[in-house]
Structure 1
Amino acid sequence: MLSGSAWADSQLNLTQGVTEISRQVYDLHMLVLYICSGIGIAVFAVMFWSMAFHRHSKGVKPATFHESTKVEMLWTAIPILILISMAVPATSTLIEMENNDNAEITVQITGSQWKWHYKYFDQDIEFYSVLSTPREQYENLDGSSAAKGEHYLLEVDKPLVLPINKKVRFLITSDDVIHSWWIPAFAVKQDANPGFINEAWTKVDEPGIYRGQCAELCGKDHGFMPIVVDVRSEADYELWLEEQKMLIAQAAAAEKASLSAEASMDEMMQLGEQLYLANCAACHQVNGAGLPPAFPALKDSPLTTGDINAHIDIVYNGRAGTGMQGYGKQFSLKEIAAVVTYERNAWGNNTGDVVQASHVNAVAGDVSADGGAEPEKAAAASAPAKEEAAPVQAEEDLSKVYSMDELMAMGEKVYNTSCVACHQPTGLGLPPAFPALKGGAITTGDVGAHIDMVLNGSAKNPAMQAFKAQLSKTQIAAVVTYERNAWGNNTGDLVQPADVDAASAK
């Protein structure tokens, strides 16, 4: 049984909230509850009274009338009146909830797996809001979880800050899957759909911290996507705006300074580890082993041990059609450089690469405030330093001829690290976005078209990305050979690096 204090603390009803709309919703809820309760009491009272006083044992004989126009009119009219008494206030409340007129502040809210992005219109302020609960509290990494905090899984690094007594309009959308932005105290719950913008609004009467969650099942870390809104007085809100503008200016200055700075391996590894554990470990795991096929391993991966530019590009821009999102808007250039450095040297990868902010800036197309060299020239000038001189990588031998066994072994490895997340280990794909390769027209048809698609991607299907910047020509030859001979395709085609080189020259 519940103790007296536990019973007192339990929530048995809808909360009233801190906005006029939330109170209207509460009043509507109570009105409907009272009406339904009254109907239930009346119906059961008549039923039990009839059972008690009209039972057969008392000798009561049932009435013999067949119909009554008056009764039928009553049991039609009374429910209509009851429905009207509920529909009028419900309609009024719903109309008011959708009325965004005369909003004084507009905030764009974008859901991503698994964080929120807030952008204040007319203020040039935007930031990501990410779960800040320590991983030790929700991951049983060492056999015993840490003690839960007061706001376990309901705390973030940067809350949405709003002023009291101001009508705030929300424009809600998504970068990937369907999310739902829900703050119970505001009576605001609106879906975030990719490709669409939904609207909502609030006007909070009381300052304070208000918490909510994503209310739509949006993936494996759906439970780690909280919402925190910090409502302040108008004066404190203005101070916060000035503080944010100052921080943005400082960040821009630091970003500019980082382009000419050379950070050490130790500094970048330490910063990179912090960022990786907070933002990447949920998918790729603390040990870099990933969760294949959706989230590939980074340990001993061709991406993290191969071409540095391709590695930077995927961290900065992400990869369309997969769960890998770009961090170019969320991280500074130095932070992206630190994450890439960490991934290239952790878990035994040990490439020795120390990526600098200038290299990230070059690969990203020169996003620095003052502009700079052309990306190709800047990339060459800002190649990552190494703590120790690394051996020069041998140039790819495009004239070498490989056997079927060699290409199949190499191709299977490349496929399992770069293609399996979309097309599955069995080659059956995830139609229609990711078509089957087993018995597929592309893998059993024209070899040239197959090579071209792997090299350059598909214009008809944006989910199929180009791999020419991520894989060597030998690797592309191997993976095409593998796809054309695996899963019973058995075309017998043997694609060599020279074939890929000839196709890329067209």
Structure 2
Amino acid sequence: MGKHKLTWLVLVTLFTNSTWAETQLNLTKGVTAVSREVYDLHMLVLYICTAIGVLVFGAMFWSIAFHRRSKGVKPADFHESTKVEILWTAIPIVILIAMAIPATKTLIAMEDNENSDVTIQITGSQWKWHYKYFDQDIEYYSVLSTPREQYQNQLENNAVKGKNYLLEVDKPLVIPANKKVRFLITSDDVIHSWWVPAFAVKQDANPGFINEAWTRVEEPGIYRGQCAELCGKDHGFMPIVVEVKSTKDYDAWLNEQKQLIAEAASAEQASLSASMSKEELMQLGETIYTAHCSACHQPTGLGLPPAFPALKASPVTTTGTIKDHIKIVYNGKAGTGMQAYGKQLSLKEIAAVVTYERNAWGNDTGDLVQSADVKSAVENSSAEGTSQDATLPAVTKTKVEATVETVIEKAVIEDLTKVYSQEELMTMGEKVYMKACVACHQPTGAGLPPAFPALKGSVIAKGDIAIHIDMVLNGSKKNPAMAAFSSQLTKTEIAAVVTYERNAWGNNTGDLVQPAAVDAASAK
């Protein structure tokens, strides 16, 4: 009798939710209502599958043991049974329905992104995360902070691994507790996946598309995750850290961030009139290079050709002009793994890393780059315009395409009195739309409501032209997801993209918007 009690005690212990939740072999409950629903759904399905397994295998082994030939049992002689056919069809259907009902409820809850209190855009970028708070004008990059010596050349060094090895960052994502936080997830290069197990949030970050997710965390704390999509050589070094703060602490953090932004802007302005010594530039440059560049170009500057070219004795760092070198670091290089660091680093940091690259590893050009040089190179680059097609093979272009590229390349030197044909505006507008608008409003114009409303058949695209132009120029006060493009696009580009949106996808308003109309609207 004692043995039977012990057996029942073991079985009850094994199938107790709290016991399962504590084991590392099982799914964790998480810290949100949705994550707990996912856990309960997981356990329900596990119990059902376990019960089915016990019944099926139990019947099979019982039949093998008690109906074996050695016992003289003769097999039943029948081909089929209508009752059996009905039973083994009806029972699985009932089981599937029993699992589908709670599963559907949970999936609907996971997709309910409406009525959020905070909206954050998350952009995957090899190999870091870019966070942008729509309603606070705060954005920053989050980068792995585990020291390189802890994970590089593990067979050659005995560096002690930290407590949160490969799961720690310099700037965590900060969100408020007990508030619904909506995530708009995308990528600016390859496919990533933003995954925080404790929130039951795992959403792909696809270039050119916006995926949505949300969470509401009840308890302040620090929660960790990582990229869950094989995204390249440093996929394993792309962690996620989310710090959940109380409402009071979150408001204090927002104020602190705004103060830091103001101080950074002031320091940036001050750096334009300051000159750093070679020693200071090289020291800061090495720090920046190690943190942001060495993963691809290697600490030795030898790179990983052909994807990541060497910087040691490179035409870019030795014989190339300082201006071209700065532009590559600031703007990146289209069609390659070289991303833009203009938003990630200050002018002072870019000046330092360019100086370091031009003088490290035996390059020894003697060139010293200051913040003012970076500002000058960037401004001249904007004024002169750069052609992304310069790196592509030569192709035969139509007259319209040539006209479009000429206008786009000469961004500042544009003729606001010129009148373009519908063909020219539509061709140019499609190019601009695919560059600046497609990630949110989709190639089909269907959008991703409610964050990004459809343009196909919309009131904006088929309504008052003045309102449409103002929306593109200045963004939307009602919908913070709609950014202002007055500083990102030329007036000719805005005229073209408004024309395109008003005539694409069957809108067919016949409206043609010229640069002069945009110029007049921006002057109001």
Q: Same fold (TM over 0.5)?
A: yes
Mapped partners of 2:58, 2:64: distance in 1: 10
Counterpart Cα distance in 2 of 1:301 and 1:225:
29
Tell me the SS of whatever aligns to 2:286. Answer: helix
Partner of 1:492: none
In structure 2, C-alpha distance between the alignment counterparts of 1:335 and 1:62, rounded to whole Å: 83
What's the counterpart of residue 216 of structure 1? Answer: 229
Deviation at 1:62, TM superposition (A): 1.8
Match of 2:336 in 1: 322
How far apart, CA to CA, are the structure 1 residues paired with 2:21 and 2:109?
33
- Tell me whether 1:37 sits opposite 2:50 in the alignment: yes
In structure 1, the partner of 2:324 is 310
Q: Measure the CA separation in 2 of the matches of 1:68 and 1:142.
A: 65
**Alignment pair present for 1:343 and 2:357:** yes
Partner of 2:487: none
Do structure 1's residue 123 and structure 2's residue 136 form an aligned pair?
Answer: yes
- The CA distance in 2 between the partners of 1:18 and 1:366, in whole Å, is 51
Matching of residue 296 in structure 1 with residue 309 in structure 2: yes
1:14 aligns with 2:33: no
- Determine the C-alpha separation between the residues in 2 that align with 1:42 and 1:302: 72
Pair 1:153 & 2:176 matched? no
1:113 match:
126
Distance in 1 between residues matched to 2:366 and 2:65, nearest whole Å: 89
Matched position secondary structure for 1:116 = strand
* Alignment of 1:284 onto 2:300: no
Q: What is the Cα deviation at residue 65 of structure 1?
A: 2.9
Worse-superposed segment, 287-296 or 141-150: 141-150
- Are 1:299 and 1:347, in contact at CA under 8 Å, matched by a contact in 2? yes
Q: Residues 333 and 357 of structure 1 are in contact (CA less than 8 Å); yes or no, is this contact kept in structure 2?
A: yes
1:253-292 matched pairs, under 5 angstroms: 253-292=266-305
* Partner Cα separation in structure 2 for residue 334 and residue 224 of structure 1: 26
Q: Note the C-alpha offset of 1:354.
A: 1.1
Matches within 5 A, 1:344-363: 344-363=358-377
SS at 2:59's partner residue?
Answer: helix
Give the distance between the partners of 1:352 and 1:338, measured in 2 at CA: 13
Pair 1:232 & 2:245 matched: yes
> Following the alignment from structure 2 to structure 1, what is the Cα–Cα distance between the partners of residues 161 and 285?
26
Show CA shifts across 1:122-177 (max 9, x none).
10000000000001101128931411001111100000001110000000000100
- Residue 35 of structure 1 deviates from its aligned partner by 0.2
Give 1:366 shift. 7.6
Q: Which has the higher helix share?
A: 2
Deviation at 1:257, TM superposition (A): 0.6
Pair 1:93 & 2:106 matched: yes
Partner of 1:168: 181
* Cα distance in 2, alignment partners of residues 52 and 282 from structure 1: 62
Aligned equivalent of 2:479: none
Cα offsets for 1:238-290 (capped at 9, x unmatched) = 11000000000000000111111111111111111000001100111101111
Amino acid at match of 1:333: L
| Equivalent residues in 2 for 1:285-434, closer than 5 Å | 285-305=298-318, 306-365=320-379
Extract unaligned runs of 5+ from structure 1.
1-6, 368-373, 377-418, 423-433, 443-455, 463-506
CA distance in 2, matches of 1:166, 1:84: 33
Q: Is the 8 A contact 2:224 2:239 kept in 1?
A: yes
Q: What's the Cα RMSD here?
A: 2.8
| Alignment-mate amino acid for residue 203 of structure 2 | Q
Question: What's the secondary structure of 1:363's corresponding residue?
Answer: helix
Q: Which amino acid aligns with 1:300?
A: A
CA contact 1:164–1:206 (8 Å) conserved in 2: yes
Choose from 199, 202, 212 the match for 2:212. Answer: 199
- In 2 relative to 1, CA 272–326 (structure 1 residues): closer, same or farther, beyond 3 Å? same
CA shift, 1:48, in A, is 1.2
Q: Is the 8 A contact 2:358 2:365 kept in 1?
A: yes
Corresponding letter in the other structure for 2:34? I
Structure 1 residue 441 displacement after superposition: 9.5
| Match of residue 258 from structure 2 | 245
Residue 451 of structure 1: aligned partner: none
Tell me the secondary structure at the aligned position of residue 354 of structure 1: coil
Distance 1:316 1:192, change over 3 A: same
Is the 2:21–2:28 contact (alpha carbons within 8 Å) kept by the matching residues of 1? no
Extract unaligned runs of 5+ from structure 2.
1-19, 385-389, 397-408, 410-427, 433-524
Q: CA offset at residue 350 of structure 1? A: 1.1
Q: Which residue of 2 aligns with 1:488?
A: none
Counterpart CA distance in 2 for 1:358 and 1:141 is 41
In structure 2, give the amino acid aligned to 1:188: V
**What's the secondary structure of 2:311's corresponding residue?**
coil
Does the aligned pair in 1 maintain the 2:177–2:220 contact within 8 Å? yes
Contact 1:362 1:375 in 2 (8 A): no
SS for the counterpart of 1:231 is: strand
Q: Is the 8 A contact 1:182 1:190 kept in 2?
A: yes
Q: TM-score, normalised by structure 1?
A: 0.71
- C-alpha distance in structure 2 between counterparts of 1:59 and 1:238, whole Å: 81
- The alignment partner of 2:202 has SS state of strand
Task: Report if aligned partners of 2:38, 2:200 keep a CA contact under 8 Å in 1.
Answer: yes
**Structure 2: which amino acid aligns with 1:332?**
S
User: How far did residue 69 of structure 1 move?
Assistant: 1.6
Q: What percent identity do the matched residue pairs reach?
A: 74
Q: Which residue of 1 aligns with 2:37?
A: 24
- 1:138 corresponds in structure 2 to 151
AA matched with 2:28: T
